[in-house]
Homo-oligomer: A and B are copies of this chain.
Amino acid sequence: NFSQSKTKENLMRAFAGESQARNRYTIAAEKAEKSGMYTVADIFLYTADQERAHAERFYELLKEMSGQTIQIDGTYPVDQQETLAELLRAAEHNEKEEYEDVYKNFGDTAKEEGFLEVASAFYQIAQIEHIHEIRFARLAEMLENNTYYASEEVSTWMCTNCGYIHEGKQAPKVCPVCRHEQGYFLPDE
């Protein structure tokens, strides 16, 4: 039984570890760049991208083996055949938790412990997570209601590839200028 196995736990730890390695190497690349060692920065950057690939492989295995639902580090349970809308709802859920619960608490604790700069970082970033939450929720809703490419409130659409502006309540299936597909169209504001 995979769900109670040590292996499942190890895959989750490996995903967490690779994710942190990716970020540490990205940060190291910036440091190398600042000290003018551009070729060292390149090595850190492509290695960071390899850690992304490692994390991704472990993530896929977790989903593949679980078949049903998994829960990585407080994420909303997702299943193997998750749709984009479900991915967005999972992301929304995590952002909401960070905003409403986790970072608020972390900030309060830092304040109580007298680490005011840290408290302020937690509070400020919590606000940004709220914006992430709202953005993901709005997107998920549009995908669920099939209004991402069709909306009563939109009158013009822009092809983000070539800039063509289309008038109408629906994005065209294909851009008449650059022939790129509907996926490139955004409501024009």
Contacts and interface: CB of A to CB of B under 8 A. Distances in A.
B73 A40 contact: no
Nearest to A171: B39
Contacts of A178: none
B37 A94 contact: no
Contacts of A135: 43, 47
A interface SS class: helix
Interface residue range, chain A: 35 or more
Contacts of A186: 39
A164 to B, nearest CB: 14
A73 B7 contact: no
A28 interface: yes
Given A38-B184, A110-B10, A160-B39, A16 B65 contact: no
Contact of A39 (B43, B65, B102, B184): B184
Contact of A27 (B56, B106, B109, B121): B56
Number of copies of chain A assembled together:
2
Contacts of A61: 117-118, 121
A19 B25 contact: no
Nearest to A184: B38
Contact of A65 (B20, B22, B94, B115): B115
A94 to B, nearest CB: 7
Nearest to A36: B183
Interface of A: 2, 5-7, 10-11, 13-28, 31-32, 35-40, 42-43, 47, 50, 52, 54-59, 61, 64-65, 72-75, 84, 87-88, 91, 94, 98, 102-103, 106, 109-110, 113, 115, 117-118, 121-122, 125, 128, 132, 135, 139, 143, 148, 160, 181-186
Given A7-B113, A11-B106, A61-B118, 12 more contacts: A7-B118, A14-B103, A17-B74, A17-B98, A26-B52, A27-B56, A31-B84, A37-B183, A38-B160, A54-B128, A57-B121, A58-B121
